[in-house]
Amino acid sequence: FFKALDDKKGDARALHGVAFSSILQRKFPDALGKMKEVLAMFKELGIKKYEAYELCAMAEVHLEDEKPLRALPIARQALSMFREINYGKGWEAACLLAVSRSLID
């Protein structure tokens, strides 16, 4: 639908929803593949807050998949981006939690 409208942001958000359904089914590699596509789309669009959000979500998926060493650099990158754009302490807190969980697990 979004492709027909040439709405790249909507297309990326829809694909994120598809990735989320894979997470709920515990199909983590599939979800991460889609999330990487979403990340690339947001990068291309230059929407840093969505890019950082997707990175934070990817870190959480790695944690759910019991791969904290993969989650750690991604969570740190997301945290750095949220700080860079000064986009709310709630998102910084979510990234800090992911960093902490990565170090503990």
Q: Is residue 1 part of a domain?
A: no
Residues with Cβ within 8 Å of residue 18, at least 6 apart in sequence:
34
Q: Is residue 2 part of a domain?
A: no
Kindly report whether the global pTM for this prediction surpasses the value 0.85.
yes
Tell me the per-residue pLDDT of 34-77, one tens digit each, with 9 for 90 and over. 999 999 999 999 999 999 999 999 999 999 999 999 999 999 99
pLDDT of residue 5: 55
Number of domains in the chain: 1
- On the 0-12 / 13-18 / 19+ scale of CB atoms within 10 A, 88 is exposed
Residue 27 belongs to domain with CATH number: 1.25.40.10
Q: Is residue 21 part of a domain?
A: yes
The parent domain of residue 71 ranges over 8-104
